[in-house]
């Protein structure tokens, strides 16, 4: 599938809901077959008028949009805004601010901030599709500290780090969170600190509800 080359082209291309649909299907299912996010069945039909799919499986929530099961769900923001936003984030080598996104897409700055957060999280975890879901293997989540001991650092480095609140975890080390779907690959990312239940928030954003999650004794 041809993807847009300039911002103008991207916005124009993704204004068309049918382009968004085809684009999402192409990036989400390599074989191009849409599957139900609740039961993984391929027996689904597209309801063009409502722009929803319908599953014939025996479960509640038979209708679903292509956002279900991705980091784009739980928001009223349509794919027509999400997809050009992703395009912008991956195309701007120097990064993009929520203000620029707000201006370019005509969404509120609050929405733009939320979108940037979700898109960056997905890029870090290397997938827009949430982990877990129907028939998934359990997921293991843990945090660890990585980095040198502060007592071996030069005094100026140590002072700078503690001034900036830089490397957290109290010991001058970076906190890294890892997530593993059993039998799969580990996804690791640096998180600001171990406070404020950051790990729990990330798990809630990236893992399907109802998935079996294992961790250590740490409350986070
Ligand atoms: Zn289903």
> pLDDT digits over 4-16, tens only?
888 888 889 999 9
Q: Is this structure's pTM higher than 0.85? A: no
The domains of the chain are located at 7-33+67-125, 139-214
Chain-centroid distance of CA 175 in Å reads: 19
Going from the Cα of 6 to the center of ligand 1, the distance in angstroms, rounded, reads 37
Residue 138, SS3 per DSSP: coil
For residue 18, what are the CA distances in angstroms to 10, 14, 31, 46, 80?
14, 8, 18, 12, 10
For 129, which DSSP code?
A: B
- Give me 74's structure tokens: 């739980």
Calculate how far, in angstroms, residue 58's C-alpha sits from the geometric centre of ligand 1: 7
7 CA distance to ligand 1 middle (Å): 36
**pLDDT tens-digit readout, 18-62:** 999 999 999 889 899 999 988 889 999 999 999 999 999 999 999
Cα 9 to middle of ligand 1, angstroms: 35
Say yes or no to pLDDT of 160 above 50. Answer: yes
Rounded-to-integer distance, Cα 15 and Cα 10, Å: 8
The predicted-structure confidence for 95-142, as pLDDT tens digits, reads as follows 899 999 999 999 999 999 999 999 998 888 888 888 877 677 778 888
**Residue 65 Cα to ligand 1 middle (Å):** 12
pLDDT at position 159 over 80:
no
């Amino acid at each position: 599938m041809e993807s847009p080359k300039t911002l103008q082209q991207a916005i124009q291309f993704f204004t068309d809901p049918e382009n968004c649909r085809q684009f999402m299907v192409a990036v989400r299912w390599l074989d191009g077959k849409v599957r139900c996010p609740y039961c993984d069945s391929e027996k689904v039909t597209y309801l063009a008028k409502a722009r929803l799919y319908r599953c014939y499986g025996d479960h509640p929530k038979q209708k679903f949009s292509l956002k279900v099961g991705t980091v784009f769900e739980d928001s009223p923001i349509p794919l027509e805004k999400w997809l050009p936003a992703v395009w912008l984030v991956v195309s701007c080598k120097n990064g993009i601010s929520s203000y620029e996104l707000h201006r370019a897409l005509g969404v509120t700055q609050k929405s733009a901030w939320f979108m940037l957060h979700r898109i960056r999280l997905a890029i870090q975890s290397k997938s827009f599709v949430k982990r877990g879901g129907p028939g998934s293997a359990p997921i293991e989540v843990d945090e660890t500290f990585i980095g040198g001991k502060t007592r071996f650092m030069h005094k100026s480095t140590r002072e700078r780090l503690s001034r900036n609140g830089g490397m957290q975890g109290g010991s001058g080390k970076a906190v890294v969170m890892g997530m593993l779907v059993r039998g799969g690959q580990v996804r690791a990312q640096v998180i600001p600190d171990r406070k404020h239940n950051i790990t729990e928030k990330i798990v809630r954003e990236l893992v399907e509800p109802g998935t079996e999650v294992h961790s250590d004794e740490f409350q986070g």
